[in-house]
A = this chain, B = another copy of it.
Amino acid sequence: MNDYLSLDQQLCFAVYETSSEFNKLYTKALEPFNLTYPQYLVLLALRENDGLAQKEIGEKVRLGTGTLNPMITRMTANGWVTKERSTGDSRSVVISLTEKAKNSKRDIALAIKEAIERCGIQSNEYFELMKLLGSVRDKMKKSRMEQA
């Protein structure tokens, strides 16, 4: 029981610190493009499937309307995406990549790839970590869903 009480030994803190490091790495790599880290995640989601509704983007990047709405407004102002009411269901809004967003795909990916490689993270630990994180994340999510 006492094992849980020390700051250094808490898994939450290890996740929190690593998340913070990723945030800093991406912030720095994306700065020249005038993009933030969560904004970049939205671009990635749209690259997998352009023209999503805001709600669908939210499901992909796990963000609610209170976060996404102002964020996408900013991305629109910065010329990364466009926003228009769906013709089919005019409650929903369709978000699409601009030409600028499509054209800068390679440059952005390269900047991030370089930043990641500079850290010297090994391929095997990359995938092992992904696997473990996925497992823990799913358990936590499942447990959270069951409570509601």
Which residues of A does B touch, CB under 8 Å? 1, 4-7, 9-22, 24-26, 28, 37, 41, 44-45, 47-48, 60-62, 105, 109, 112-113, 116, 118-121, 125-126, 128-130, 132-137, 139-144, 147
Contacts and interface: CB of A to CB of B under 8 A. Distances in A.
Contacts of A116: 4
> How many copies of this chain?
2
Contact of A44 (B5, B18, B26, B47): B5
21 contacts: A1-B113, A4-B116, A5-B105, A7-B47, A7-B48, A11-B126, A11-B130, A14-B129, A14-B130, A15-B15, A15-B18, A15-B133, A16-B19, A17-B62, A21-B137, A24-B144, A118-B147, A119-B142, A121-B140, A125-B136, A128-B132
